[in-house]
A and B are shown apart, each in its own frame.
Chain A
Amino acid sequence: MIKFDDVSKTYPGGQLALQKVNFHVAKGEMAFLTGHSGAGKSTILKLISLMERPSVGRVLINGHDLGQLSHKDIPYIRRDIGMIFQSHQLLMDRTVFDNVALPLVIEGYSRKQITKRVHAALDLVGLLSRAQNAPMALSGGQQQRVGIARAIVNRPPLLLADEPTGNLDPKLSMEIMRLFEALNQSGMSVFIATHDLGLIARMKYRNLTIKNGRLIEDGLQEDVLLNETNTKLPSDVHVDNDTPRYR
């Protein structure tokens, strides 16, 4: 599904964000991308969602080299990728319904189809009763779930999440993760960037660890955590509720 082939990224000004990163996330897989702030997680997500282009190497989705696609193709590619952000990125002057409906309106669905799908997505995230509320009237966790509903409403094959639980308490974070798990079980590929190792420690999924722009670990979460805690626990990692968490 996602393939990084010797990808390096240097930002204008010479800042090296990624160095020869190689990995492959299979279709229907759920995987985490962890690392410190500034390690390069967001850059990887930006390369997948075409907010950035690699300086060297290739990013492929479903076998298609994103570097070969023109600027005009970008919107159509983004329709195939559901994106969830830490800051939710909601339109605060619209209702929850309107926010979730946005990808469908853009794709040109009929009003009837939009209503049906938005209600289904909101039902899935438990916010159907809040459809006519403004996002401002919702809690942080609820706003994140609106973001998730919007990301999945047009049933994209791939779901990207950038720090989706960053501002949430552990209970809400776990709820969100369970939701991702459910979506993955329905056939959606899910790729989540997070530094909340405590949360994902409870979930047995593949974890890609990135540090200073290099992929340093790729394996099951419990193996990675074992390595992190037993062999090279970074100085900025602390243990909270028996689980490590990057700051």
Chain B
Amino acid sequence: MSLLFAGRKTAVTEHKVGIVQRFVMTVLNHFRQLLASLGELWRQPLASLMTIGVLGLSITLPSTLYLLVKNTEQVTAGWEQAGEISLYLKPNTSVAQAQQLRLAVSLFSEVEAAELVTADNALIEFEQASGLTNSLAYLDKNPLPHVILITPKASYVQPNAARTLVKKLERQTHVDFGKLDIEWLERLYATVSVARDVVWIVAILLCVSVVLIIGNTIRLNILSQREEIIIMKLVGATDNFIRFPFLYTGMWYGLLGGVLAWILIAFLLWWLQSGIANLANLYQTQFTLTGLDTTALGVILLLSIILGLLGSIISVQKHIKEIEPK
């Protein structure tokens, strides 16, 4: 387009380029700039690698924390069910009354099974487990109450349903109180929830730092190419034409940082896997660390690219305009 000379031929008018061909040429130009900006990184390998390294580590940290939380949630998902309700009976309850109550309770629609542990059996178990036989001999009477161990049906194992069942059971005669064995789990969930929040905070802070790092790197790139930018402006380059290679550079930094983070995470998981397996064996369970699935990997790479672009956009918007031929 010539603004001053109406009849002057330009690249578009001279060759009668159609809209489709112009679109194809634009795409090709961008593709060329994309590759050229990768070439720019290649020309300064040490500086590029250092920047990519910092970005990779910055992305690795929140990603690893995310995996940690995800694995913890996966482990505890199986424990979410209230496996057992302990129903403690009042001290003066007889064994016959306890047997009767066990029978009554076992007929509840919410109950899968009910087992009575009498006070005597409980004491024997305690003696065996604690080794305090001699000390227990000094007791005048057995201080332990009868306990009915109740296994709820599958539809009543969720914490809220189980809590309702406990309240119902506590209303029965001879029942002192009921205890649901999920309080520790609730504490664990609360801890995991805090950990999840911490992951988010760390992730946000590190994302901001990634944007700042890329923004600063692009700023330095722009300043080091100041003369080139001036020359390009002198021969008619638009701000957009000058801007795009820097945006692509930021995008490459983000993408390569994301790929590095992925490699580091895979390495960390490989490293931790044997240790975790050993730990699981000690608890007589089997556990395999869950890595990044395709979606998570895609999200990390996409986020890295977006952060790279964002950092470079902020820097480019500010600095390209400031550089003018004088």
Contacts of B29 in A (CB 8 A): 108
Complex-state Cα separation, A106 to B228, whole angstroms: 13
> Which chain B positions have C-beta within 8 A of A239?
none
Q: Is the CB of B234 within 8 A of A78?
A: yes
Q: Which chain A residues numbered 96 to 131 have a C-beta less than 8 Å away from chain B?
A: 102-104, 106-110, 113
CB nearest to A63 among chain B residues:
B4
Of residues 63 through 89 on chain A, the ones whose CB sits less than 8 Å from some CB of chain B are 64, 69, 72-73, 75-80, 83, 89
Contact pick for B3, options A49, A76, A89, A150, CB 8 Å: A76
Partner of B235, one of A64, A69, A83: A83
B61 proximal to A (CB < 8 A)? no
Cross-chain contact A80 with B235 (CB below 8 angstroms): no
B2 touches A150 (CB 8 A): no
Does the CB pair A78–B236 fall under 8 Å?
yes
| Interface residue? A91 (CB, 8 A) | yes
Interface presence of A168 (CB below 8 A): no
**Min distance, Cβ B244 to any Cβ of chain A, angstroms:** 12
Q: For the complex, is B155 an interface residue (Cβ under 8 Å from A)?
A: no
B233 contacts A64, C-beta separation under 8 Å: no
The answer on a CB contact under 8 Å between B11 and A107 is: yes
Chain B: minimal CB distance from A35 (Å): 20
How distant is the Cα of A80 from the Cα of B9 in the complex, in angstroms?
A: 10
- In angstroms, Cα B3 to Cα A157, docked, is 12
Most-contacted residue by chain B among A64, A78, A83, A108 (CB, 10 A): A108
Q: Does A61 contact B (CB under 8 A)?
A: yes
Known contacts A49-B234, A103-B236, A107-B236; A76 and B11 CB within 8 A of each other? no
- Bound together, the chains give a CA A108 to CA B288 distance in angstroms of 55
Residues in A whose Cβ lies below 8 Å from that of B280: none
Instruction: For B231, give the chain A residue with the smallest CB separation.
Output: A89
Distance between Cα atoms of A9 and B4 in the complex (Å): 23
Q: Which of B15, B26, B324 contacts A110 (CB 8 A)?
A: B15
Question: A185 to chain B: which residues have CB within 8 Å?
Answer: none
B237 touches A80 (CB 8 A): no
Q: Is residue A51 contacting chain B, with contact meaning CB distance below 8 A? A: yes
Interface presence of A167 (CB below 8 A) = no
**Is A227 an interface residue when CB atoms closer than 8 A count as contact?**
no
- Asked whether any CB of chain B lies closer than 8 Å to the CB of A62, the reply is yes
Q: Which residues of A sit under 8 angstroms from B325, Cβ to Cβ?
A: 49, 51
Complex contact B232–A102 (CB within 8 A): yes
- B8 close to A157 (CB less than 8 A): yes
Q: Which residue of A lies closest to B6 (CB)?
A: A62
C-alpha spacing A150/B231, complex, angstroms: 11
Instruction: State the Cβ distance, B6 to closest chain A Cβ, in Å.
Output: 8
Give complex CA distance A155, B8 in Å. Answer: 9
Question: Which single residue of chain B is at the shortest CB-CB distance from A62?
Answer: B4
A49 CB contacts on chain B under 8 angstroms: 234, 325
Contact of A75 with B233 at beta-carbon distance under 8 Å, contacts A51-B325, A107-B10, A109-B11 already known: yes
Chain B residue at smallest Cβ distance from A64: B4
Report chain A residues within 8 Å CB of B241: 75, 106
Given contacts A64-B3, A89-B231, A108-B12, 5 further A-B contacts (CB under 8 A): A49-B325, A76-B3, A91-B231, A103-B235, A150-B235
Enumerate 16 A-B pairs (CB-CB under 8 Å) in ascending A order.
A51-B324, A64-B3, A69-B3, A75-B236, A76-B3, A78-B234, A78-B235, A80-B5, A83-B234, A89-B230, A106-B236, A106-B237, A108-B11, A108-B26, A155-B9, A157-B8
* Chain A residues at the B interface, C-beta cutoff of 8 Å: 46, 49, 51, 61-62, 64, 69, 72-73, 75-80, 83, 89-91, 102-104, 106-110, 113, 150, 155, 157
